[in-house]
Structure 1
Amino acid sequence: MIDYTGGIKEYIELEKKTLESLPIVDINNVMNILENARLNQKRIFICGNGGSASTASHFKCDFNKGISYAQDIKYDFECLSDNVPMMMAIANDIGYDEIFVVPLKNKLKAGDIVIGISGSGNSANVVKALEYANSTNAETIALTGYDGGRLKQIARHNIHININNMQITEDIHLILDHMMMYILSGMKGC
């Protein structure tokens, strides 16, 4: 039997240390932007690649159902990473860097929000989505890790997980989703 306890403890300590350094003011700011979008019935588009695509889809579920269920004014989240046939058609016919921009060109309106999730902050298709959103006067939010990359530079709002570790970054991006759901739905104590 192999003893993994040292590695397990090390990972947990790294996660705790990173959680303790989260930018609370930035998280609060993003939550207020999202709530204002809900109350003003603006759409929120979210996207990412790989594990970040999964997190984007999870945000959509938790905000559209979890938070919105008992509220009169609902969230209107759309995950751009969820439509695989459209992404493949765009990637094949136009280019992978355009998979999120094309649907935004069809739907995004001024005052809507685009959230890009990228551990490195340099996913070209997510960067292009936020650049396009900025050009239309939409709000842009980035969830990043490492040094924040290009997304941290171009997003109007950013929650940066300051660690050079993709697993911890992705863990905390999902924790942010659950934290926001817990607070915004009033689930405290459930």
Structure 2
Amino acid sequence: MTLAETIGVYLAEKRRIVDEFPVAVLERAAEMLFETYDEGGTVYAMANGGNAGTLDHFYCDFKHHPFVTEDKTRPLPPDVRRLSFVNLCSSAAELTGLVNDIGADDMFAASLAPFVTPRDLVMAYSGSGNSPNVTKALQVAVDAGARTFAMTKGDGGRCRELAEVCLVVPGTSRFPGQVGKNDNNFHFEDLMLSVNHMLVGLLKQRVAERRTD
């Protein structure tokens, strides 16, 4: 297979995923986000590896983008409610401290447990759906009565069982680097950012509509 043909495989898979995207699942996730925002709750997000870095992008977008004018010249007035967003992966000091003290499997759960409430939304991202640090924190969120959203792939793993709403990236891949145990992983990671952008845009629309009511 030539380089161009291999690139074509990736793009063809991407188009198929977009065609099969579970719109209704993301619609429900957006509704949970709106409920959390309306109630003054906090969004907590967690992931591992490169996906933890993507959550920094989430943090920037969710914290600021829905709350600026359309021409991006100024923020909305201070009386417009902002969204509280916590990236559980943001502090290397906190994470390494928790790993050192209680172990990697419990680091997110320990960070989340003292603060999560039923007003909140906990967002979990795990390609396998079985990362212990993610599933343990999801269980903490469920026990606290919080809203829960997970994004995964394959069969969804434990995340699919725990989360109130679970978005499973459809399909499988033949592209180098995302076959076997990593099946569809690049597409999963690409789609994380798309999900972020859709949710942020929908929240921006919600904020704007509330201001004109």
TM, length-normalised to structure 1: 0.91
SS at match of 2:96: helix
Match of 1:156 in 2: 164
After superposition, where does 1:86-105 map in structure 2 within 5 Å?
86-105=94-113
After superposition, where does 1:1-190 map in structure 2 within 5 Å?
4-70=3-69, 72-163=80-171, 164-186=183-205
SS at match of 1:107: coil
TM, length-normalised to structure 2: 0.82
Question: What is the CA–CA distance in structure 2 between the aligned matches of 1:35 and 1:60, rounded to whole Å?
Answer: 16
Q: What is the count of residue pairs matched by the alignment?
A: 185
> What is the CA deviation profile of residues 85-119 of structure 1, one whole-angstrom value per residue up to 9, with x for unaligned ones?
01101101110011111111221122211110011
Structure 2 unmatched ranges of 5 or more: 70-75, 172-182, 206-213
Question: What is the CA–CA distance in structure 2 between the aligned matches of 1:167 and 1:146, rounded to whole Å?
Answer: 13
Q: Which amino acid aligns with 1:108?
A: V
Question: What is the CA–CA distance in structure 2 between the aligned matches of 1:179 and 1:141, rounded to whole Å?
Answer: 15
Are the counterparts in 2 of residues 117 and 144 from structure 1 also a CA contact under 8 Å? yes
Question: What is the CA–CA distance in structure 2 between the aligned matches of 1:132 and 1:138, rounded to whole Å?
Answer: 9
Structure 1 unmatched ranges of 5 or more: none
Question: What is the CA–CA distance in structure 2 between the aligned matches of 1:66 and 1:145, rounded to whole Å?
Answer: 28
> What is the CA deviation profile of residues 50-90 of structure 1, one whole-angstrom value per residue up to 9, with x for unaligned ones?
12212222222111111233551111110001111011011
Question: What is the CA–CA distance in structure 1 between the aligned matches of 2:200 and 2:167, rounded to whole Å?
Answer: 16
Are the counterparts in 1 of residues 30 and 202 from structure 2 also a CA contact under 8 Å? no
- Measured at CA, do residues 139 and 183 of structure 1 come closer, stay the same or move farther in structure 2, by a change above 3 Å? closer
Are the counterparts in 1 of residues 66 and 203 from structure 2 also a CA contact under 8 Å? yes
SS at match of 2:151: strand
Structure 1 segments, 4+ long, off by >6 Å, are none
SS at match of 2:114: helix
Are the counterparts in 2 of residues 114 and 141 from structure 1 also a CA contact under 8 Å? yes
Question: What is the CA–CA distance in structure 1 between the aligned matches of 2:113 and 2:186, rounded to whole Å?
Answer: 32
